Amino acid sequence: MKSICICVVFALLTVNCKKEAVKKRKVQLLENSSVDIFNQGWKFIYKYYGNINTGNVNEYEGEYSKNVAYSQPYSLKLKCLSLKSQEGYCSWTQTVLKPDIPDGSKLILKAKIKLDNIQGKGIGLAILGIDTSNNREFFFTTSEDRLLIKGTSDFKEYSLVLDSYKAAPEVAVFIHLLDKTTGTVYIDDVTLEIH
């Protein structure tokens, strides 16, 4: 009888430990996070005076780069060599629809970034919770004015933390070439993790 009780207690402890391990496991939400597949999951956008993808005055470029990558075969590239307008920015973005994220969770956006002569405001990371059907914003956090990402450097990991997730129908991530910024940036191994 004692051995049966001990086995039951041991089994319950094992199940409880496995449940705790599942709870603590990091979940990655982005598609094609290591940019292994050409033209999948990521969208290049530029914005001027509130209009998306119209009037590319600064001649922003966004492409999948095969020449420079942290993990092969591709990275995401953003480029602006001269500013004809002080307004506007360009980004690589990805949206997760109907994310299964518990309220109050911590979200961490991470990216490996290589900088080539980034001058001006620099590079920004952002996480946005939104409902595009009615343009309602649930949360927004950005690295702008908190994390200096400019100059020239090899690939380095940068991260942005959203401390407390609030349920939203869509979660979008952005890696921006901020307004008033010139240079070239390569982005690879982008993850959005639930903690």
Question: From the centroid of its chain, how far is CA 5?
Answer: 49
**Cα–Cα nearest to 46, from 32, 60, 35:** 60
Which amino acid, residue 175? I
- Residue 152 pLDDT: 98
Where in the chain are the domains? 27-194
Q: What is the mean pLDDT of the chain?
A: 88
Distance CA(43)–CA(13), nearest Å, equals 46
Q: In this predicted model, what pLDDT tens digit does every residue of 5-42 receive, in sequence order?
A: 444 444 444 444 444 443 455 799 999 999 999 889 99
Cα dihedral value 130, 134, 135, 137, nearest 10: -40
pTM across the whole model:
0.85
Q: In this predicted model, what pLDDT tens digit does every residue of 92-149 receive, in sequence order?
A: 999 999 999 999 999 999 999 999 999 999 999 999 999 999 989 999 999 998 999 9
Q: In this predicted model, what pLDDT tens digit does every residue of 72-105 receive, in sequence order?
A: 899 999 999 889 988 899 999 999 999 999 999 9
Distance CA(2)–CA(195), nearest Å, equals 40
| Domain covering 27-194: architecture | Sandwich (2.60)
The residues, any chain, with a CB within 8 Å of residue 192's CB and separated by 6 or more, are 28, 29, 30, 96, 107, 108, 109, 127, 171, 173
Count the helix, strand and coil residues of the chain and give each as a percent rounded to the nearest 5: 10, 50, 40
- Residue 15 pLDDT: 41
